[in-house]
A and B are shown apart, each in its own frame.
Chain A
Amino acid sequence: MARVEDHNTLAAAQADISQDALRRLDNVFRTGAGVFSILLLLIAWEVFARSGRVTAFMLPPFSVVAERIYADAVSGELWRNLGVTMFRAMAGFGIAAVGGITLGALMSRSKIVHWFFDPIISVGFPMPKIAFLPIIILWLGLYDTAKISIVVLDAIFPVVTATLAGIAGVDKVLLWSARNMGARDNAIMWQIVLPAALPQILTGLQVALPIALIVAIIAEMAMGGYGLGGAMMTASRYANSPAVFAGIVEIAAVGYALIKIMALIRRRLLVWHEETAGH
């Protein structure tokens, strides 16, 4: 009897291993296909741009664009613009994150705060806040304060709503037992409510992060000055198309890196949570 069970577990284990190997093979295959299709895209870009069907103005070859990026990197122009844009986007994102979580927590604790901000959030969330950019310029001028403010205005809404939803979904039994054991309101907020709401809060931050970057770039395009967006707009005015395409590649790389970093942070912060158990 025992031996049969042994055989069964062994067979199950073997099946597991082969399943695992298959999955890994599938992953390798997928990554391969992914790299392949991106390479294919770059080659197609190069060939199409050189084929003479489009002018170099409409679509400069990828090699020319890469050269331009390299030249900008060597001269330091790239790092300066990148630094300025990242500073604005991240400062705005940071303020929106802290402010949004605080406001969400306050709204969930106080009826009056909730009453006041609820209609503002629900009406303001679907609005295209970027339309307020000229008003912000009117109030704050063309410098960093204005650019960071419009980023905050746009990025704060998803954080507040996610925090509210996360806190509303916290298991009531947890709260009752904590209160029963004599935990104070502050301790409950920091040790139970916020950690339990963390997955949803992080989702809100993951929505807010690309918004921050999009808006920072729009603000730079509209107001000019240094930064990746400003540099692209200047290049476009001078009909310098390699620099415009260099801007797209650079901004795409930044966006990609930010999203990956955010996903990594999420996994780190939620090690204890069941959502990470599979990894």
Chain B
Amino acid sequence: MTQTVTQNALRYLPLLLLALAWETTARFNIVDSQALPPLSQVAAAWLDLVRDGELITNGTASLYRGGAGLLLAVAVGGALGLAMAQWRIFDMFINPLVELFYPLPKSALIPVTVLWLGFGDGSKILLIFLGCMIPVTIGAYNGARGSDHALVWSARSMGASRLRMMWDVVIPSALPELLNGIRTALALAFILLVSSELIVSQKGFGYLIGYLGSTGAYEGMYAVVLTVAFLGFAADRIYQFLMQWLLRWRE
């Protein structure tokens, strides 16, 4: 136990060193303290932002947008991918469109969603939904296509209905790739969320970062940037645990 603790401490020591280097360069004014406020002041600014509710209200707005967009993307994208793997006709006509939109740099959709739905929640949710759908679709499609044909045939010959088979055979075997696709979508959701809020928004993390930056409250700006970065990291870690738990039946 103590051994793993020391191992972990040693492993993450470089991050602590970086934090110390940050604090000292800022404290001794090696760089302009406007451009790099000391970490301790950033932490104090973070506490202030939490206390006056700024960080919480904007954070909830962001998480709501990200969550809603991502959920829609997983539901629609997953269903589309499974349908493409099951029915040849879907495959023939939808697949070229997926291939066409797959390489589209998703950030190009930011101005369009603003054009359609304005500056509020709707445009962000639509952006995240559209941007995150394709990796999920591709994951579901590849996973379901790779599912063991022998299993599918035997399930069918035993009289399983198409839906039943989908649920019991195809989805479980598609799960690893589907979950990987969702992981990509999760990372993409954070990127699209923050960048769209930075560019046009009236609330949310990105808005708060831009607002604090424009008023010269750089300690606060750093605090929010680090919060978003940490949330992205934490979301990925939690998702990885969830993935392992969902896939625990595999050998």
Contact = CB atoms under 8 A, between A and B. Distances in A.
A1 interface: no
Interface string A119-142: 110010011111111110111000
A34 interface: yes
A132 B228 CA distance: 9
Contacts of B190: 128
Contacts of A126: 187, 232-233, 235-237
Q: Which of A217, A218, A239, A256 has the most CB of B within 10 A?
A: A218
Given A128-B232, A133-B198, A247 B111 contact: yes
Interface string B157-194: 00000000000000000000000000000010011011
Contact of A248 (B10, B14, B95, B108): B108
Interface of A: 29-30, 33-38, 40-41, 57-58, 115-120, 123, 126-135, 137-139, 210, 213-215, 217-218, 221-222, 228-229, 232-233, 235-236, 239, 241, 244-245, 247-248, 251-252, 254-256, 258-259
A210 B218 CA distance: 31
A154 B213 CA distance: 21
Given A120-B15, A245-B112, A132 B229 contact: yes
B228 A131 contact: yes
A40 B93 CA distance: 10
Leading 9 A-B pairs by shortest Cβ distance: A126-B236, A34-B96, A236-B111, A128-B190, A255-B103, A251-B108, A127-B229, A33-B92, A128-B232
A41 B236 CA distance: 35
Interface of B: 10-15, 18, 35, 92-97, 99-112, 114-116, 187, 190-191, 193-195, 198-199, 205-206, 209-210, 213, 218, 221-222, 225, 228-230, 232-233, 235-237
A22 B210 CA distance: 58
Overall SS of chain B's interface: helix
A244 B198 CA distance: 19
A228 B194 CA distance: 20
A119 B198 CA distance: 28
Given A30-B92, A33-B96, A127 B115 contact: no
B96 A38 contact: yes
A221 B115 contact: no
A135 B221 contact: yes
A248 B104 CA distance: 8
Nearest to A41: B97
Contacts of A130: 191, 194-195, 198
